[in-house]
Amino acid sequence: MDAEEKPYRYVVRFPPQLRDQIVEAAQYYRRSRNSEIVVRLEQSFRGVLADGIGSGHAPPMHSQIESMFGRGLDHDEEKVVLAFRRLPQEKKSALLELLT
């Protein structure tokens, strides 16, 4: 985008489930919902397959940042944490209730 060109504002109505997926993905990658939508749209036009939360959608240095937060965890524990982060909020709540 040119420095002179302003971003276009566009209002979109999302089904609740899609909105929740966008929110979760944005939180997972530590970016705004708007940025998450823009990244996924740009990638879809470049032919990147939409495979859910995958490395194709990760911002630069995401894996290095995530590994810093996971220090002290073994490989299996890291997999559990990452899987937990990918769950919808209702499933996270149910799992936490089951564990306590």
Find the mean pLDDT for residues 83-98.
Answer: 88
Distances (CA, A) of 65 to 57, 70, 83, 85: 15, 9, 17, 15
The DSSP H or E segment spanning 4 is none
- What is the value of pTM for the model shown? 0.47
Q: How confident is the model at residue 80 (pLDDT cuts 50, 70, 90)?
A: confident
Q: What is the DSSP string of 34-99?
A: HHHHHHHHHHHHTT----SS-GGGPPTTHHHHHHHHTTT--HHHHHHHHHHHHS-HHHHHHHHHHH
33-79 pLDDT, tens per residue? 999 999 988 877 765 444 444 556 666 667 777 676 666 778 888 78
pLDDT at 55: 54
DSSP assigned state of 3 = S
Find the mean pLDDT for residues 92-97.
Answer: 92
Q: How far apart are CA 69 and CA 9, in angstroms?
A: 35
pLDDT of residue 95 exceeding 80: yes
pLDDT at 97: 93
pLDDT of residue 84 exceeding 80: yes
pLDDT of residue 22 exceeding 90: yes
